[in-house]
Amino acid sequence: MQIFQYPSQPEWAALQQRAAQQQAHDVEQRVQQIFTDVRRRGDAALVEYARTFDGADLSAGLRVTPDELEAAGGQVPAELQTAIRQAHANIRRFHEAQRPTEEKVETMPGVLCWRRAVPVQRVGLYIPGGTAPLFSTLLMLGVPARLAGCPEIVLCTPPQKDGSVNPIILFTAQLLSITTIIKAGGAQAVAALSGGTESVPAVDKIFGPGNRYVTAAKQLATRYGVAIDMPAGPSEVLVIADDSANPAFVAADLLSQAEHGPDSQVILLSDSMTIIEATKAEVQRQLATLPRAAVATQALDESRAILLRTPEEMLFFSNQYAPEHLILAVKNPEQLAEGVTSAGSVFLGHLTPEAAGDYASGTNHTLPTNGYAHNYSGVSLDSFLKKITYQRITAEGLLNLGPVVETMAEAEGLSAHARAVTLRLESLAGGQ
């Protein structure tokens, strides 16, 4: 980690830069080719991509069979099953509390307005496989999708080389009662979800993380009328640590994000050089024992430890950076947290590791990255709902509201709008 001492505010912008996003023209061009191919050839294209990118032969079919789904439980250790069930319960409890209430508002006598939440009808969940099959992300997306009442949930995840799907992902899908599971990964899975194939139903909204090809594919899907959860990029964490912090805890939190991928970013802010130096030493000590040390090392190359003067200055820096994860390892975390304006998820105190939110505390770990916490929230129950407004106007209401609408419509030169009200008022005046 690079260390910077008391940088001036004009220097902050450079320190807040993420690693260059490799959304190069060639990536976008390749993703467009994949979209065109999948839309033209359907399942045949997906089978070919599985052979090329995953080394899997899916000529027998792209869908996970009921037998495959049923057999998954026997391949998942009992201890892990128990942990997944507990995480499922916590995530469900937190998201269930987000159910919206339907309240009717009488804006003036006889004019009644309200809003009703309805589920997105068809949602696609993309869950990466490979070296780190993210079954935890399936919980984070599947639980609110189920609570929202989405009638159709389609899961896409890459196959393993033998053509199977990771049994932990299948066990989790079974727990969520998700049965439409497609063996497809990468940009081709997003392309299939956005337009449909013989085996893959088209969806209205796509959720889930992925590499730069998946990210580019999700952005391209929006051009085909399909919504996405949010713009996404490499994972990141910012830790604010004062002299009360435990360097071993802080180092572990930094490394837990660094091991996600070589383009992840971690930032440490502190008003204590002693904490920075001790944390840096701890990072090196713990790094030596990590199985994914090579990945974490690459991420640390783009990471920074910055010495600032006060907690307020550190918070100001953080709000400008807008981190995906913000850890407040300080004496009075609740007090400092009141000033947070831009962050995906906040972790308060020395005993609240970011990893808890990644897996099982209950909050959602699908969060805005790359500065999008300035204007996006993380995934929630709302992400799977649409809000439709309703209104009903009585005779009394039209008499009260009608002249207001007529006056405004005429002022905008929209006479047909005014007439739609005038005809009704004349009808009421005539006793009809």
pLDDT in tens, 206-247: 999 988 899 899 999 999 999 999 987 789 999 999 999 999
Contact 71, 168 (CB under 8 A): no
Residue 25 in marked binding region: no
Q: How many CB atoms lie within 10 A of CB 345?
A: 23
**Three-state DSSP class for 177?**
coil
Q: Considering 228, 261, 288, which residue would you say is the last residue of a domain?
A: 228
Whether 10 maps to a domain, the answer reads: no
Whether 131 maps to a domain, the answer reads: yes
User: Do 286 and 155 belong to one domain?
Assistant: no
Whether 15 maps to a domain, the answer reads: no
Structural domains counted in the chain: 3
User: Do 209 and 281 belong to one domain?
Assistant: no
Q: What pLDDT score was predicted for residue 131?
A: 65
Residue 129's domain comprises 25-228
User: Do 372 and 407 belong to one domain?
Assistant: no
User: Do 196 and 261 belong to one domain?
Assistant: no
Residue 147 pLDDT exceeds 60: yes
User: Do 250 and 204 belong to one domain?
Assistant: no
User: Do 224 and 237 belong to one domain?
Assistant: no
Please report which confidence band the pLDDT of residue 20 belongs to, taking 50, 70 and 90 as the band edges: low
Residue 261 pLDDT exceeds 90: no
CA dihedral 355, 85, 385, 209 (to 10 degrees): 40
Contact 345, 355 (CB under 8 A): no
Instruction: Give Rg (Cα) of the chain.
Output: 26
Residue 431 pLDDT exceeds 90: no
For the four alpha carbons of 360, 361, 364 and 370, in that order, the dihedral sign comes to negative
Residues belonging to the chain? 432
Q: Could you report the per-residue pLDDT of 191-206, keeping only the tens digit for each?
A: 999 999 999 999 999 9
Label the pairing between strands 205-207 and 304-307. unpaired
Q: Is 179 left (phi over 0), alpha (psi -120 to 50) or beta?
A: alpha
Strands, sheet with 152-157, edge to edge from the N-terminal-most edge strand: 180-183, 152-157, 122-126, 205-207, 227-228
DSSP-assigned beta bridge partners for residue 304:
2, 267
Residue 260 in marked binding region: yes
Count of alpha carbons within 13 Å of 422, Cβ hemisphere only? Answer: 11
Average pLDDT score over residue span 316-325:
98
Q: Could you report the per-residue pLDDT of 369-410, keeping only the tens digit for each?
A: 999 999 999 999 999 999 999 999 999 999 999 999 999 999
Residue 164 in marked binding region: no
Residue 186 pLDDT exceeds 90: yes
Residue 180 pLDDT exceeds 60: yes
Whether 54 maps to a domain, the answer reads: yes
Residue 23 pLDDT exceeds 80: no
User: Do 306 and 353 belong to one domain?
Assistant: yes
| CATH at 259 | 3.40.50.1980
Q: What pLDDT score was predicted for residue 234?
A: 84
CA gap 377, 149 in Å, rounded: 21
Q: What pLDDT score was predicted for residue 130?
A: 67
Residue 6 in marked binding region: no
Cβ burial, residue 316 (10 Å; 0-12/13-18/19+)? middle
User: Do 193 and 283 belong to one domain?
Assistant: no
User: Do 262 and 162 belong to one domain?
Assistant: no
Whether 405 maps to a domain, the answer reads: yes
Residue 412 in marked binding region: yes
Residues identified as active-site:
324-325
User: Do 213 and 358 belong to one domain?
Assistant: no
Whether 387 maps to a domain, the answer reads: no
Whether 11 maps to a domain, the answer reads: no
User: Do 207 and 286 belong to one domain?
Assistant: no
Q: What is the pTM of this model?
A: 0.94
CA gap 267, 269 in Å, rounded: 7
Percent of the chain with pLDDT over 70: 98
Whether 16 maps to a domain, the answer reads: no
Count of alpha carbons within 13 Å of 354, Cβ hemisphere only? Answer: 32
Which amino acid, one-letter code, is at 34? Answer: I
Q: What pLDDT score was predicted for residue 233?
A: 78
User: Do 361 and 249 belong to one domain?
Assistant: yes
Residue 257 pLDDT exceeds 60: yes
Residue 188 in marked binding region: yes
When the pLDDT of each residue in the chain is averaged and rounded to a whole number, the result is 95
Q: Could you report the per-residue pLDDT of 44-57, keeping only the tens digit for each?
A: 999 999 999 999 99
